[in-house]
Structure 1
Amino acid sequence: MADPFRSPVTTADLVRLVSAWLTTLASHHTRDRYGRDLGALATWLYLHRQRHLLDARAEDVLDYCRSLTGNRHDLTAEAHPVRRRNTIATTATAWSSFYRHCTDTGLLADNPVQQARALDAVAAYVPHPRRRPPELDAAALRAVVVQAHRDPWLGGPLGASMLGLLLCLHWRPERITAATLRDLRRRGGIRDRARFVPLPEPVLGYLTAWLAERPETDGRRLFVHPVQPRPLAVIELARLAARSAQRAGLGPGTTPSRLAHAAGALAAEGTGISFPSWEELREIAPAPRQLALPDDADGYHPDWQEYGQQALIPLPTKES
Structure 2
Amino acid sequence: MKRVSFAEFGGPEVLHLTEAEEPHAGPGQIRVAVRAAGVNPVDWRIREGQFHQPDQRDQSRQARQTHPSVLPSGTGQDAAGLVDEIGPGVTTVEVGDRVFGRGSSTYAEFAVLSAWARMPENLTFEEAAGYPSVVETALRIIRQSGVQPGQTLLVSGASGGVGSAVLQIARDRGITVIGTAGAANQDYLRSLGALATSYGEGWVKRVRQLGHVDAALDLAGSGVIPELVELTGDPQKVISIADLTAPEHGVRFSGVTGNVPQALAEAADLIARGRLHIPVEKTYQLTEAAAAQADSQAGHTRGRRVIVI
Q: TM-score, normalised by structure 1?
A: 0.26
Richer in strand (by share):
2
Q: TM-score, normalised by structure 2?
A: 0.27
